[in-house]
Structure 1
Amino acid sequence: MAGRVRLLMPVAALLFLGLALLIRVVDDGALRQYSGTALYASMIWAGVLFLWPRMAPVPAGMLATVFCWLVECAQLTGVPAALSARSVVARLALGVQFDPVDLAWYPVGVAPLVVLHHVVRTRRRAASPAARPPDTHL
């Protein structure tokens, strides 16, 4: 199971990235800004599960959200801006400028994935033979 999660999470991250880039092509307003923030958080969630594929849904979501908040707050120091001036990758990963609105959009990108993760995990456990009570034929 953990191996399957490790294979799926990079695919999920690439899908989130592709969707974010597609939105950037068709919109240059609020949709672009806020969907990019939410989809960044979705990519971080995928990264968390890639590193820890057996992590439960809520802790994975909390870790991804807190990581995003830390990166956003680090922008108050100016270090990400300095790194972003030298590297496009740093700019995409760390951002440039603190935006308090982003703090609210990170959970928006993670919460639906936590719910989906919980549903898939619950169904998988219910379908597993080990989760079923033994048959009693008297």
Structure 2
Amino acid sequence: MSELDATGSPSARGAKSVRLAIGVVALTTVALGLGVRWFGDGAWTGPVGDALYAVLIYLLVSLAIPRRSPMLVAGIAVVICALVELFQLSGLPLQWAETWPPIRLVLGTTFGWSDLLAYVLGCVVAGVVAGVVSSVAVGAARRATVGVAVGSARRTTDRRVDAGLKRTADSG
């Protein structure tokens, strides 16, 4: 998925493709969140929507501070989500939503303890998935790099062995 430089970090081209992938996942998350809100029916829609909101915040934080530990990004995203939720206690998001309704999708309007739990779960799941994806991508890139190096070393060794066998055959 991503290419690594000599330090094991994504190369410039690899970093660009990672940012693009995060952007696509963020847009997909927004679509899923809006779909749950508008087309979902039942008690599950609130917590799922909150968790998806947290995933989106996770993705935005990962774009803002790239190459950080997935759990660090998750922690920062939880703090941001909690601050937004606590801001609802001021009543300002509700007032603003009366003037411009789309603001409720970004800031919410009423505080709920259960929302905080959904945010934590959403950020932790996002962090775990990002960690697994990152490990798989880094492992694949390293295996590919090692495979090229091993193949090159094997060819060099084969030539040396062939040359040694030839010398032994010529002298015997």
TM-score using structure 2 length: 0.70
CA distance in 1 between partners of 2:65 and 2:141 (Å): 21
Cα shift at 1:9 = 2.0
Cα shift at 1:110 = 1.6
When the two structures are aligned, how many residues end up with a matched partner? 137
The one of 100, 107, 112 equivalent to 1:99 is 112
Distance 1:85 1:64, change over 3 A: same
Cα shift at 1:112 = 1.7
Cα shift at 1:65 = 1.0
Q: Does 1:57 align with 2:74?
A: no
Q: Does 1:32 align with 2:45?
A: yes
C-alpha contact 1:68 1:106 (8 A) present in aligned 2: yes
1:47 matched residue in structure 2: 60
The alignment's C-alpha RMSD in Å is 2.2
CA distance in 2 between partners of 1:108 and 1:129 (Å): 31
Percent of pairs with identical residues: 34
1:26-60 CA deviation, whole Å, 9 max, x = no partner? 33331111111111001111111121221210111
1:77 matched residue in structure 2: 90
Distance 1:123 1:27, change over 3 A: closer
- Determine helix, strand or coil for the equivalent of 2:111: coil
Q: Does 1:125 align with 2:138?
A: yes
- Structure 2 residue runs without a partner (length 5+): 1-13, 158-172
* Bigger-Rg structure (1/2): 2
Q: Does 1:6 align with 2:26?
A: no
1:108 matched residue in structure 2: 121
Cα shift at 1:68 = 0.3
Residue type of the partner of 2:84?
V
TM-score using structure 1 length: 0.86
CA distance in 1 between partners of 2:133 and 2:49 (Å): 25
Residue type of the partner of 1:99?
G
Structure 1 runs (4+) greater than 3 angstroms displaced: 128-132, 134-138
